[in-house]
Amino acid sequence: MAKRIQVVLQEDIRKLGQSGDLVEVAPGYARNYLLPRGIAVRTTPGVLKQVERRREAERQRLLAIKAEAESMKTALETIGMFVIKKPVGENEAIFGTVTAADVAEVIQANTNKEVDRREITVPDINKLGEYKATLKLHAEVTATVNLRVSAE
């Protein structure tokens, strides 16, 4: 009797795998639970080819997303300086601070590309001057933009 059999998952199962994964399970688990409920299918040469095509398509999709993030990084860094205007008080101190939302708004105004404000790291900015902010565009791609805070 076989110790383990291979099946391809059709749904995500916690602690076992994601949809499309090739997993080895106990024969009873496959025969009595996974196969009758349609959660998994037996492996055949045709199913294995399908799994490979799906993996390749997913890999290509992820590469396209990373390439888009790289192009966005180059675009942001070639612009040079983003200017944020804030009301100013005494000693060049601004009212309030410059937030990630302010940076995202300025980037969108200049490039017409939306950036998630939660992925922007801004230093504490309380005075006029030049600063650097970091944007995480992708898990492997970060960009640094130059900011100039000036008076309104």
36: CATH: 3.40.5.10
Predicted confidence (pLDDT) per residue in 123-143, tens digit: 998 889 999 999 999 999 999
| Distance from C-alpha of 3 to C-alpha of 22, rounded to nearest angstrom | 16
| Distance from C-alpha of 138 to C-alpha of 118, rounded to nearest angstrom | 12
103: CATH: 3.10.430.100
Q: Are residues 57 and 71 in the same domain?
A: no
Of 24, 22, 21, residue with least CA distance to 2: 24
Q: Are residues 76 and 129 in the same domain?
A: yes
Where is 83: in which H helix or E strand? strand 81-86
Domain residues for the domain of 45 are 5-63
Would you tell me the crossing angle of helices 100-111 and 45-79 to the nearest 10 degrees?
90
Q: Are residues 145 and 100 in the same domain?
A: yes
| Distance from C-alpha of 19 to C-alpha of 39, rounded to nearest angstrom | 9
Predicted confidence (pLDDT) per residue in 15-71, tens digit: 999 988 899 999 999 999 999 999 999 999 998 998 899 889 999 999 999 999 999
